[in-house]
Homo-oligomer: A and B are copies of this chain.
């Protein structure tokens, strides 16, 4: 995994660090970046030597394919610091595997493990001061790849740039999260790219989400595009529903991202003896459960959002408020998950990897 040794990466150190200018207690998500970035180009059919260098803008041609055809993918990961000042990753192999699955679907070259995971280890060693101690503090990791080859013909690029940038982060959503169930707009097509972390999947949601925001809702729970009867995911999070004492979440598919937090929550629920069923949940079931009082919780799960309780949902202009409950399964699972991530509980799954 860390088979890249420093002499296989060009490292150019920043002349000074901006870390002392950062107010770590008041961070907006994803706006501040650390002192360095990793950059590695693919050209002439192969990956070149990666470089870690000061975070800075770079030049691209106006005809770069990322601008015209959206050939771009990313991952979201986090680094955590334990009480002994050691830095940890959570299931990085899952992000690495998914990144290359996205690359394949977008006709981009796969990134070798020594560059993706090896490079990540190296840059995290350099930026370890940016990972702050204390539950809730993380260093958000954004590996991404863009098509940098030139030409306005709709065909895959022959040149790509893989990068890792790092952003100190607290929570993704602040405040209550209320959602709208999608009735018209959709996130993904059957046979489309919904399962890939492809750039275009996200901007496609901006307009419908803006309409939802204007009505006072933070997110949309997407439904299948053909019938809008099946609940799928929330775009930045997978979604779980608790009806009585059973948790439900949709199976992954071509339309639904195979979330690392989602699969970790499923494993934790199973370990904790919580009844969990991976199956499609119908909108009609959800509305019925809300009406008869059996719907106890809805929550989102994702790397950025962690586990995020949803306080209510709207469907066909009717708003359903979730009950205020004790013994929230969402909060229990969030606690179990973050205790593993921050090394406060034993990691019986072997999910954590030390830098």
Contacts and interface: CB of A to CB of B under 8 A. Distances in A.
Contacts of A155: 206, 209
A325 interface: no
A223 to B, nearest CB: 9
Given A30-B151, A58-B62, A62-B37, A199 B200 contact: yes
Given A68-B144, A191-B182, A226-B226, A163 B203 contact: no
Interface in A26-75: 28-31, 33, 37, 55, 57-63, 65-72, 74
A198 B188 contact: no
A45 to B, nearest CB: 15
Nearest to A105: B207
A284 to B, nearest CB: 19
B190 A225 contact: yes
Nearest to A193: B204
A242 to B, nearest CB: 26
Nearest to A141: B152
A314 interface: no
Given A57-B60, A58-B59, A203 B69 contact: yes
B29 A153 contact: yes
Given A31-B150, A225-B226, A184 B191 contact: yes
Please indicate which of the listed interface residues A107, A146, A198 has the most CB atoms of chain B within 10 Å of its own CB: A107
B107 A210 contact: yes
B66 A67 contact: yes
Contacts of A74: 68
